[in-house]
Chain A
Amino acid sequence: MTMNPARGSLLGIEDLEASEIMGLLKFARTMNPDKPRPLLKGKRVLLLFYESSTRTRSSFEIAAKSLGAHTVLIQAIGSSIEKGESLLDTGYTVRAVGADVIVIRHPNAGAPHVMARHIDVPIINAGDGLHEHPSQALLDAYTILRNKKTLKGLQVTIVGDIFHSRVARSACHLLSKFGAKITLCGPPELVPDIAITLAPGIRGTRHMEDALRGTDVVMLLRVQKERLAGLRIDLAEYIARYQMNTARLKMAKKDAIVMHPGPIIRGLELTSEVADGPQARILEEVRNGVPTRMAILARALGKMRR
């Protein structure tokens, strides 16, 4: 027996309307972790993490607490998941314990969707395999809009491991819905030709010069060694062709900003000069994660007001 996802679930960006996204982003601007609002007083937020996480987990946790909710963290290691409990049985269990909303990160694409078809509380996707990472795309849009006037017509270049990146997929869906011009750049193993079919307004290139010229936003991605599954990437060649350094950044617009969902690997996808430079917004993204996730959690429990 299956059902539709509970109202307030956030499974991905692809199925959201632009108006819903804009509503969430505006709502996020009213959120401030330093001025807690007890919108979710007494509610229980279950954080179900099947994969490691620093930013997303701590940010959801602080967001929930800033809204007055209780949080419980369950990680694969040290829980019954280790003993072979199935995804759905874990879901039924945390629901029975009294979860009002479940935030799930999982190494398999679609795990939150399977959960949402069987469990009657809102499910928030905190990253599912190679598929989507909707809260990251929302906080990135939030960050871009604090630095640029509009997404429409904005040139955004995403460099690196697109194939294995749920961040890239969610970002492409979101930016495309608002009419941004997206360029994907990387070697064929990491940026397959099929990638440009993801959403309207995406083009691909193998050359950084082509990718960076005139761009407003540069999003860098980590080469996900843990997901390469047999793919062989020559890291020295990758660095030579695609590493973001000061010289390359000059090809972009003067006021271009540099983003990265983290974790960053200095000396690989970017140099320290770029990571710590004036154009980097990497830590601002992390900061913006909290109000964005406050908005996501409040929306999940029907507390979204403008």
Chain B
Amino acid sequence: MLITGGHLIDPAASIDAPMDVLIRNGRVAEVGLRGKIEGADETAHATIDARGLIVAPGFIDLHVHLREPGQTHKETIATGTAAAAAGGFTSVCTMPNTIPVVDSVEWIEWLRQPEREAVVNVFGIAAATVGSKGAELTDFRALQSAGAVAVTDDGKPILDDAIMRDALVLGGELNFPVVQHAEDTRMTEGCSMHSGAQSFRLGLRGMTSAAEASIVERDVQLALKIPNARLHVAHLSTADALMSVRRAKREKARVTMEVTPHHFVLTDEDMRDYDSNYKMNPPLRSASDVEAILAAIADGTVDAIATDHAPHAAHEKAMEFERAAFGITGLETALGLAITRLHREKGIPLSRVIELFTAGPARCFDLRGRGTLVRGSVADVTLFDPKKKWTFAAAKSLSKSKNTPFDGWEMTGRVVTTLVAGRIVYKA
């Protein structure tokens, strides 16, 4: 397969130029100037005309909920990965808060069985504690050997200092990232949105920034002290928590972080009329939090954009705001929102945006051979038109669920073709 005529942006290799990519046996065989790859015509059985398109390493989403095992009425690995492919993601890392919780080698392996009919690569993140109950660590070593890329109790933060320390110590010994959903749930009981003027006006109890920042700060303190500890802060949403991560990075702690598109596109003021498609955790924050996140994206502090794709059935959302499930879908809107908001509105270079979808997340979880298209890497490729204006229609989403605040949004930048190991898995 030869991808020819496109503009290659591969931040890991510092390439931002018109280049062809030759794929052989599911790997990148050669990258070269347009029409200059020797023998390309003879060895490529097929050609993709990428004129006018950006050719990028396949996108990696560090944070998705595909709901399997257990909640197939919301999503399955098959439907979720189809949505991922449509959004340009060739690898997704699945959260373990399923039913049952993915806390064993058996379940990590189950995720990758062919019966799941995954369209893109699925990397399991295992529970950090047994049943995500926060009491007893899972068998990190065995889970890592079985292919888990990280551990987390996502949705249920690890509050106990000793357990979090133990997790970081063991993770450090194994070079295994511990992912934290940072929320002091003792401070957020009954809360359904961000605490501020808007929550007061709407009569909704609000989650304070401190509930996130205090846990991030605690975790950073631990990570600074524990040799080799690897902490990954999931969906960071507040300026206060960002300060802790910045300090950790300055002091060379192995701390990484992700942000979601909705946290750099929307604020708490956007939630009106108690529309539960604006309800997620962490919640939409204040305008100043969004500004802080945008600055951190621009200056390199943010490592990855992750969607926190969290599908829910219509009946789990069409109810009282305070009772509705937390979470929104995000796989198919991430690139459009990122290009529109970060590149077009904020002037962040396209190569930096792509880094956040590729090299950045690959580094966070050590996904070797992914997130780049240098010779020899896996031929996971995303081709997109950075100038294409389009309107997202939730009804046409490939996800089983349609819970998104972005229905009907016009955005710029659309995925055209997605390849996994050299095979086309999505075509617009």
Contact = CB atoms under 8 A, between A and B. Distances in A.
B363 interface: no
Interface in B178-233: 189-190, 196-197, 200-205
Interface in A90-109: 106, 108-109
A118 B318 contact: yes
Interface string B286-315: 000000000000000000000000000001
B287 to A, nearest CB: 14
Interface in A69-117: 86-88, 106, 108-111, 113-114, 117
B203 A166 contact: yes
Contact of A111 (B196, B202, B320): B320
| Residue of A88, A113, A229 with most chain B CB atoms under a 10 A cut-off | A113
A88 B276 CA distance: 14
B322 interface: yes
Given A194-B197, A229-B189, A230-B189, A114 B320 contact: yes
B319 A87 contact: yes
Interface residues of B, number: 19
A131 B198 CA distance: 11
Contact of B200 (A88, A117, A132, A198): A198
Contact of A197 (B197, B203, B205): B197
Given A113-B274, A229-B189, A229-B190, A106 B320 contact: yes
A266 to B, nearest CB: 27
Given A169-B201, A197-B197, A198-B200, A109 B321 contact: yes
B273 interface: yes
| Residue of A88, A117, A129, A195 with most chain B CB atoms under a 10 A cut-off | A129
B54 to A, nearest CB: 36
Contact of B322 (A88, A118, A129, A166): A129
Given A109-B274, A229-B189, A114 B318 contact: yes
B315 A110 contact: no
Interface string A127-147: 011111000000000000000
A51 B311 CA distance: 31
A209 to B, nearest CB: 26
A192 interface: yes
A62 B275 CA distance: 33
B203 A109 contact: yes
B321 A192 contact: no
Contacts of B322: 108-110, 129
Main secondary structure of the interface of B (DSSP, over half): loop
A130 B197 contact: no
Contacts of A14: 201
B190 to A, nearest CB: 5
Contacts of A131: 202-204
Given A117-B273, A118-B318, A229-B190, A109 B197 contact: no
A86 B319 contact: yes
| Residue of B190, B274, B315 with most chain A CB atoms under a 10 A cut-off | B274
B141 interface: no
Given A109-B274, A113-B273, A113-B274, A195 B200 contact: yes
Nearest to B324: A114
Contacts of A130: 203-205
Contacts of A169: 201, 203
Q: What are the 9 tightest A-B residue pairs by CB atom distance, in nearest-first order?
A: A110-B274, A131-B203, A130-B203, A109-B203, A108-B320, A197-B197, A108-B322, A110-B321, A111-B320
12 contacts: A87-B319, A106-B320, A110-B203, A110-B274, A114-B320, A131-B202, A131-B204, A163-B200, A195-B200, A197-B197, A229-B205, A230-B189
Interface of A: 14, 86-88, 106, 108-111, 113-114, 117-118, 128-132, 163, 166, 169, 192, 194-195, 197-198, 229-230
Given A87-B320, A88-B319, 15 more contacts: A86-B318, A86-B319, A88-B318, A106-B320, A109-B202, A110-B322, A111-B274, A111-B320, A113-B274, A114-B319, A163-B200, A166-B203, A169-B201, A194-B197, A194-B200
